[in-house]
């Protein structure tokens, strides 16, 4: 376990101290700040509705549910249980680019939330037309960039981010499978029954 923590700290320092550039600083702060990147989320939602119409609202709902579950697991469960101190408070000589409260580090809720949304989008769009495939890839890259930014700005270890991504992916799959099961066993039979009566 100590070896894993040492590797995690080394990789954090490599990203936070060595993989830096003045132009990247502003980009990473933008990516890591949910308020600044809100227009991107709005554009994602618009694309989903434009491409899928009313069924796009269902995709957005599932993405919101997956995000909520991922955030609860990462922030509501794992952080209080693990109680890992953030690198910006635990280590010396950290480049801290954002203001950060004294909350715990493991797992990254930013990584969990973005991975949850990206996974739902992947489920519904990765087999679509070229523009939808491009949309899926862009969303996945955006989620990865958000996760990377958390290490770059100095508030998470890479291990926190990886755990957050796994939480997000698992949450999205759980929500999707739960919805599919409910639709197959409850909603679809009622639709077929009404259709038969008509």
Q: Is 171 helix (H, G, I), strand (E, B) or coil?
A: helix
The Cα 178–Cα 162 span in angstroms is: 24
Query: Residue 169: which pLDDT band, with cuts at 50, 70 and 90?
Result: very high
Handedness of CA 166, 79, 108, 95 (dihedral sign): negative
In the numeric block, which tokens belong to residue 60? 């957005």
Residue 130 or 192, more confident = 130
Q: Where are the domains of the chain?
A: 25-173
Alpha helices in 126-152 (DSSP H): 130-152
Asked whether the predicted pLDDT for residue 17 surpasses 70, the reply is yes
pLDDT digits (tens, 9 = 90+) for 127-151: 999 999 999 999 999 999 999 999 9
CB atoms within 10 A of CB 81: 10
pLDDT digits (tens, 9 = 90+) for 64-78: 999 999 999 999 999
Look up the pTM and report it.
Answer: 0.91
């Amino acid at each position: 376990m100590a070896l894993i923590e040492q590797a995690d700290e080394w990789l954090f320092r490599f990203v936070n101290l060595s993989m830096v550039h003045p132009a990247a600083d502003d980009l990473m702060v933008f990516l890591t700040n949910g308020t600044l990147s809100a227009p991107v989320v709005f554009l994602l939602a618009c694309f989903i509705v434009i491409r899928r119409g009313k069924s796009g609202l269902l995709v957005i709902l599932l993405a919101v549910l997956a995000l909520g579950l991922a955030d609860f697991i990462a922030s509501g469960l794992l952080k209080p249980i693990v109680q890992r101190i953030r690198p910006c408070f635990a280590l010396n000589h950290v480049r801290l680019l954002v203001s950060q409260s004294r909350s715990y580090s493991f797992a990254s809720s930013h990584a969990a939330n973005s991975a949850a949304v990206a996974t739902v989008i992947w489920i519904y769009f990765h087999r679509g037309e070229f523009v939808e495939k491009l949309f899926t890839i862009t969303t996945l890259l955006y989620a990865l960039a958000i996760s990377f930014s958390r290490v770059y700005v100095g508030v998470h270890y890479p291990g926190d981010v990886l755990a957050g991504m796994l939480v997000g992916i698992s949450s999205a799959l759980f929500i999707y499978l739960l919805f599919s099961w409910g639709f197959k066993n409850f909603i679809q039979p009622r639709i077929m029954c009404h259709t038969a009566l008509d």
